[in-house]
Amino acid sequence: MKKFLIIGLGNPGIEYSKTRHNIGFEILDYISSERECKFETVKLADITKFKIKGKTVFLLKPNTYMNLSGKAIKYWMDNQKIKLDNILVISDDLNLKFGQIRLRKKGSSGGHNGLENISQVLGTENYSRLRIGISNPGLNQIDYVLGKFTEKEYKSILKICPNFNNLIESFVLKGAELTMNNYNN
């Protein structure tokens, strides 16, 4: 049976809830709600699972801080025997306009410390990643990414959330290439 691991990057703790840097967690919370599955806190992560046409899909929110996410991802890939081709990491991206999405099968970290750590721990940059634009207004970068979404921004994210449910289903059933062609904007 094929297994997939969808990872949302973020930082644990209520103080980071609804921050731009935690957009990966927000997306997984939306998907788990739509799929009616609940996260459990287990080793190194909050995790849940559901099926898409007989394929098991795990949603993973690492409990390590974002810059150490690779440890949790590697543990769960090994634990569940999930191939590198079957993982998708969801992260924020300052270099994309707000709400823009970009799916890639591989690539550099683009300066994102969470992606950098994942690449180091996995020993490769050849894993799929879905970047979600949070813009870069030229403010202090750390304050901006760790800042809460404005009400307008949060409503904008909620509006595009259904796309992520469909994107994940496409990734699982059709693979990264076809999904990239259909969803990159």
Strands (E), 64-137: 87-93, 101-104, 128-133
* Predicted confidence (pLDDT) per residue in 83-112, tens digit: 999 999 999 999 999 999 999 999 877 778
**How much is the average pLDDT of 59-74?**
96
- Choose, from 21, 49, 61, 112, the residue flagged as catalytic: 21
Residue 121 has pLDDT above 90, yes or no: yes
112 is catalytic: no
CATH code of residue 159: 3.40.50.1470
Task: Please report the sign of the dihedral spanned by the C-alpha atoms of residue 44, residue 5, residue 147, residue 103.
Answer: positive
Question: Would you state the pLDDT for residue 55?
Answer: 97
Domain of residue 171, residue span: 3-183
* Predicted confidence (pLDDT) per residue in 151-169, tens digit: 999 999 989 888 999 999 9
- pTM, rounded to two decimals: 0.94
> How many domains does the chain contain in total?
1
Residue 4 has pLDDT above 90, yes or no: yes
Band (pLDDT 50/70/90 cuts) for residue 16 is very high
